[in-house]
Amino acid sequence: MAIAIQNAVICTPEGELRQQQVRLEGDRIAEVAETVTVNPDDTVIEATGLTLLPGVIDPQVHFREPGLEHKEDLFTASCACAKGGVTSFLEMPNTRPPTIDQATLDDKLARAAAKCVVNYGFFIGATKDNLAVLNTVYPVCGIKIFMGSMHGSLLVDEEPILDRIFSEGKRLIAVHAEDQGRIRARREQFAGMTDVAVHSQIQDEIAALNATQLAIQLSRKYERRLHILHLSTGIEVDFLRQHKLPWVTVEVTPQHLLLTTEAYAKIGSLAQMNPPLRTEADNKKLWQGLLDGVIDFIATDHAPHTLEEKAQPIPKVPLGCRGWKLLCPSC
């Protein structure tokens, strides 16, 4: 079966936006040109006025299967990806149980094979007790370290253990860079304050900078491939502009580019995330970092939450195309 997409604006390899015709044959792009072959039995998609992009890779998502499927499962999450143009996602280990060994990884892979409508990859999570398997579990897209903002056992905040993880193996290490020691101390300092906006003060810019600096220091020491997840502060951009290494990549989320601490007054705890929202000055520095290459790409850090008391039993909806005829694994 061939598909012709007509009159969409595409971005050429030269970086120009131009109206072009595209022909797909099976799972391959067969032609991109001013005019392309269109046979009578081809599916024709008229895309005048629309922009056609390559499939997007979301390099950081926190889906909820296994364990919290009333919020989202791998089928609904991957359908949301497809609907938004995301054709591949890399998923984090803070599910229930967490993905911290071969058995939990195999379980997630089997679920994904049965349910996902887009491509996927999974991180193995580092704990203080699973160093022996971090470089052997397979297949993973990398090792995720929560240096702060822990999820149960998923926390490695002691420098000697971090040093060991960076020193052993070659896999990419992705860090949630917040200094848990500083967060702990500031939580005590702000104890009793109920204003949700205090979240940004407890997990402040220094907590973020401390951890980013430590991750860069360890990456330099062992020449270890490092990815810094969801950069949130201007001082981290300033630091990385000076100290980023050729084998380090950095990402930012739309929420840290577009929202500020003012969101707490409007939407309360819906604005609460880790790392927290910052100031407009931080937004500006993050945009600048993205434009000049200190920051390499955008990730969503998608992570759905519901009020636990509203948790519903998992609906018994059979897997099926639900309108996704082209993508559904069962069709």
CB of 72 to ligand DOR, least distance (A): 11
Q: Does 196 bind ligand DOR (CB under 6 A)?
A: no
CB of 41 to ligand DOR, least distance (A): 46
- In the region spanning residues 48 to 77, those forming contacts with ligand DOR, defined by CB under 6 A, are 62
- In the region spanning residues 168 to 187, those forming contacts with ligand DOR, defined by CB under 6 A, are 176
Cβ closer to ligand DOR: 36 or 178?
A: 178
Cβ closer to ligand DOR: 101 or 301?
A: 301
20, 76, 78, 94: which one binds ligand DOR (CB under 6 A): 94
274, 282, 294, 300: which one binds ligand DOR (CB under 6 A): 274
Residue 13 Cα distances to 10, 20, 154, 215, angstroms: 10, 13, 41, 34
Cβ closer to ligand DOR: 20 or 232?
A: 232
Cβ closer to ligand DOR: 170 or 305?
A: 305
Q: Does 104 bind ligand DOR (CB under 6 A)?
A: no
Residues tagged active-site: 301
CB of 268 to ligand DOR, least distance (A): 15
| CA atoms of 247 and 202, how far apart (whole Å) | 31
String marking each residue 130-169 x if it binds ligand DOR according to CB under 6 A: -------------------x--------------------
Retrieve residue 37's tokens.
């072959």
How many chain residues bind ligand DOR (CB under 6 A)? 8
Cβ closer to ligand DOR: 108 or 176?
A: 176
Q: What is the 3-state secondary structure (H, E, C) of the chain?
A: CEEEEEEEEEECCCCCEEEEEEEEECCEEEEEECCCCCCCCCEEEECCCCEECCCEEEEEECCCCCCCCCCCCHHHHHHHHHHCCEEEEEECCCCCCCCCCHHHHHHHHHHHHHHCCCEEEEEEECCCCCHHHCCCCCCCCEEEEECCCCECCECCCCHHHHHHHHHCCCCCEEEECCCHHHHHHHHHHCCCCCCCCHHHHHCCHHHHHHHHHHHHHHHHHHCCCEEECCCCCHHHHHHHHHHCCCCEEEEECHHHHHCCCCHHHHHHHHHCCCCCCCCHHHHHHHHHHHHHCCCCEECCCECCCCCHHHCCCCCCCCCCCCCCCCCCCCC
Is cis: bond before 40, omega within 30 of 0?
no
String marking each residue 300-319 x if it binds ligand DOR according to CB under 6 A: -x-x----------------
Q: Does 273 bind ligand DOR (CB under 6 A)?
A: yes
String marking each residue 218-257 x if it binds ligand DOR according to CB under 6 A: ----------------------------------------
CB of 113 to ligand DOR, least distance (A): 23
Cβ closer to ligand DOR: 157 or 301?
A: 301
Q: Can you give the binding site for ligand DOR, defined by CB under 6 A?
A: 62, 94, 149, 176, 273-274, 301, 303
